Amino acid sequence: MPLFDEGLDPMRWWLIGGAVPLYLVALAGVVWALVSIRRCPWPAVCVLVASLLAVIDWLVLPFLMSWQHRRVFEYGEGWELFEFWLRAHAVVSGLLSAAIWGLMIAAALGWRGKRAPVEVAPPLGPATAAPTTPQATPAATPPAAPPVASTPASPPPAPISKGVFLGVTFGAFGVSMLLSIPGLLLIYGSRDEDVQIAGALMSCGSAIPTVLGVVMLLILLYKLWAALPPHYARTSPGKAIGFLFIPFFNFYWVFQAYWGWAKDHNRAADALGLAPHRASEGLALAICVVAVASILPFVGIFLGLVNLVLMPIFFNGAINGANALTAARAGGQA
C-alpha cells in the first residue's frame, strides 16, 4: 500500500507530514551524535539513542495508527482491535517519551568538556599597596589585605547541586508524561463521552509535576544570577526572575534573564581567569528565540519540545560556570 495514495484520509497527512519539525530535530540529534562521538562518547551515545527513539515515537507509531485507522473505517475491521491499538500506542508513546527524557538528562549530566582547575590569580591590590608604606615590615603587610578581600557586600552563595536541580527539574517533565498515560487510555480507548471527560480530568493531574519543574527551573535561574559578583551583574536575582512574570514585557526580558546572564558570566569569568568555565552565549540566545517563537500556534508546540532539549545542555554548563565563580569568590577574587 503506498504511503500517500489517492483518496488517503487526512489523518496520515497530519501525523506524518505535520511533524516535520520533530523529524528535523531528531535528524540534528543524530548528526551531532555522529560528529561528537569521539570527543564526548557517553553524551553522544545517549543523544543518538534518544534521537532514534524519537523517530519511532514521532514517525513509526503514528504511521501504524493511521494504518489501523484505515483498516477499521475502510476495510471493516473490528473496533475492538482498534481500541487495543489506541491503548498500546498511548502506553508505548509514553514510555518512549520518558526514555527520551531520561537519555537527554543523562547526556546533559554526563557532558564533560576540558575543565581546568580553578586557579587563583595573584591579587592585584595587596601587591601594589605594600611599597607605599616606607617602614612596612613583613609583619605589617597582612593588615593591607583584608580591605581587598572583603570587597563583596555579601558572602558568595553555596555551590549549586547539578543532580538536584537538573534531575528534579527535567525529571518532573518526564513524570508528567507518564502520569498522562491513564488519561490518554480513557480518552482514546472509549467512545463514551463521560469516560473521555474523566480521562481529560485525569490528564490535568499531570500538570502538578510540570509546575514543580517550572518552580525548580526558576530557582535554578535565581541561583545562577546570585552566583555572579554584584559588580558584573546587570540586574539583581530577584528582578531577573520577577520581570519574567510581566505580560508582554517578558518577551524582551527573557533575553536579559538568559542571554544577559551568559554575557555577564563570561565577563566575570574572563576577568577572573576562568575562561574554561565560560557559558554558551549562542545556546542561551537560541533558547530565548525559541521561547518567544513558541507562542505561535501549532508550530509553538514543536518549538517548545526543542527548548526542552536545549535547556538541560545549557544549564549543565551554566552550573559548572556558576560553581567556578562561587569557588573563586570564596577564595577572595571577587
Rounded to an integer, the average pLDDT of 48-53 is 84
Cell numbers placing 85: 491499538
Q: Which DSSP string do the residues of 216-263 spell out, in sequence order?
A: HHHHHHHHHHHTS-GGG-SS-HHHHHHGGGSTTHHHHHHIIIIIHHHH
pLDDT value of position 126: 47
pLDDT value of position 288: 93
In our burial notation (b when 16+ CB lie closer than 10 A, e otherwise), range 50-60 reads bbbbbbebbbe
Rounded Cα distance between 197 and 176, Å, is 19
Rounded Cα distance between 228 and 322, Å, is 7
Residue position matching grid coordinates 498522562: 180
**In whole angstroms, how far apart are CA 238 and each of 159, 170, 242, 325?**
18, 23, 6, 19
Backbone angles phi, psi at 43, to 5 degrees: -60, -35
**pLDDT at residue 174 above 80?**
no
Q: Of 11-20, 208-217, 237-246, where does mean pLDDT reach its minimum?
A: 11-20
Q: Which of 107-111, 123-127, 158-162 shows the highest mean pLDDT?
A: 158-162
Rounded Cα distance between 260 and 241, Å, is 13
Rounded to an integer, the average pLDDT of 125-130 is 44
Rounded Cα distance between 296 and 29, Å, is 24
Entry pTM: 0.55
Instruction: Give yes or no for a contact between 313 and 171, defined as CB atoms under 8 angstroms apart.
Output: no
Rounded Cα distance between 94 and 81, Å, is 20
Q: Of 67-81, 204-218, 318-332, where does mean pLDDT reach its minimum?
A: 67-81
Q: Binning pLDDT at 50, 70 and 90, where does residue 282 land?
A: very high
In our burial notation (b when 16+ CB lie closer than 10 A, e otherwise), range 267-300 reads bbbeebbbebbbbbbebbebbbebbbebeeeeee
**pLDDT at residue 123 above 50?**
no
Cell numbers placing 34: 555522529
Q: Binning pLDDT at 50, 70 and 90, where does residue 181 land?
A: confident
Q: Of 55-59, 94-98, 136-140, 250-254, where does mean pLDDT reach its minimum?
A: 136-140
**pLDDT at residue 142 above 70?**
no
Tens digits of per-residue pLDDT, 63-120? 777 766 666 666 565 666 667 777 777 778 788 888 887 777 777 766 544 444 444 4
Q: Binning pLDDT at 50, 70 and 90, where does residue 21 land?
A: low
**pLDDT at residue 149 above 50?**
no
pLDDT value of position 119: 45
Cβ neighbours of residue 92 under 8 Å, at least 6 residues apart? 61
